[in-house]
Amino acid sequence: MKKSLFVALVLSLRLLSPDAVHACVCGTGGARQLSPEEFREVMVKEFEKASVIFTGEVVELDEFRATFRVEKLWKGDSDGSITLLTGAKDTGDGRYIHRSSCDFRYELGERLLVYAYGPAGKLMVHRCSRTRSVGSAEVDMRALDVIKPYEIKNPAAVGGHP
C-alpha cells in the first residue's frame, strides 16, 4: 500500500511539473565499429542535418549563450564568431534552469568541433550530436575535409569553405 501511494505521489508531482528535466538518452545503436563506407555515410548525413559545422574556442559564456571564436568553418556562415544558445530558461525570479539534460554544457576556453542546429540566432547543440573536443575529433575533421558537394543532397545549403 505504501509503495503504491509513493508511486502515485511521484507520478502526480511529475505531471504537475512542466519544467521537469529528463535524462538524456542518445540512440547510439551499439558500439559496433563502422566500415569506412558506413562512416562516410554517417558523416554525410550529419553534414546535411547540421545548420553550422565549425571548430572554435568558447570565448564568452553565460547561462544563456556561448560565443565561439571560429577557427575553421565547414558549413554555414560566420563573421569570425558564432553564438549558440545553451538551452537555459529564465525562470523570471533571477534563477535559470536547463529544460533538458540533453543541453550541451560549455566551458570557457574549451575548443570544440561543433555541429549546431536551428535557425540563425537560435543555434543550439544537442549533447547527442557529434560535437566534441577538438582533441578527440580528428577523424571527424578529416572526414569533413573530404566531403564532396555531389555527396550532399542540397549543395546550395552549404555555406563556408573547406
**CA 104 – CA 91 distance, rounded (Å):** 19
- In angstroms, the CA 113 to CA 82 distance is 13
For residue 9, being part of any structural domain is answered with no
Q: What is the pTM of this model?
A: 0.74
**Amino acid (1-letter code) at residue 55:** T
Q: Is residue 143 part of a domain?
A: yes
Q: Which residues are CB-contacts of 50 (< 8 A; sequence separation ≥ 6)?
A: 75, 76, 115, 116, 117, 129
Flag whether 4 is in a domain.
Answer: no
Domain for residue 67, yes or no? yes
Say if 20 falls within a structural domain.
no
Q: Are 130 and 138 spatial neighbours (Cβ–Cβ below 8 Å)?
A: no
Question: Which band of pLDDT confidence, cut at 50, 70 and 90, is reported for residue 118?
Answer: very high
Share of the chain above pLDDT 90, in %: 46
Q: Structural domain tally of the chain?
A: 1
CATH number for the domain spanning 141: value is: 2.40.50.120
Q: What does the pLDDT read at residue 19?
A: 42
By the 8 A CB rule, do 126 and 143 touch?
A: no
Other CB atoms within 10 A of residue 53 CB: 25
Kindly list the distances between the CA atom of residue 48 and the CA atoms of 30, 36, 43, 118, 124, in Å, as whole numbers in the listed order. Answer: 23, 18, 9, 13, 16
What is the per-residue pLDDT for 137?
95
In a domain, 144, yes or no: yes
pLDDT in tens, 144-160: 998 866 556 655 544 44
The gap from C-alpha 80 to its chain's centroid, in whole angstroms, comes to 19
Supply the range of the domain harboring residue 67: 34-157
162 SS3 class: coil
Res 9 pLDDT > 80:
no
Please report whether residue 18 resides in a domain. no
Task: Report if residue 56 sits inside a domain.
Answer: yes
CA dist 141 and 134 (Å) reads: 9
Beta strand 81-85 with 65-75 is: antiparallel
Distances (CA, A) of 95 to 20, 46, 63, 92: 15, 34, 10, 7
Confidence of residue 28 (pLDDT cuts 50, 70, 90): low
Where residue 32 falls among pLDDT bands split at 50, 70, 90?
A: confident
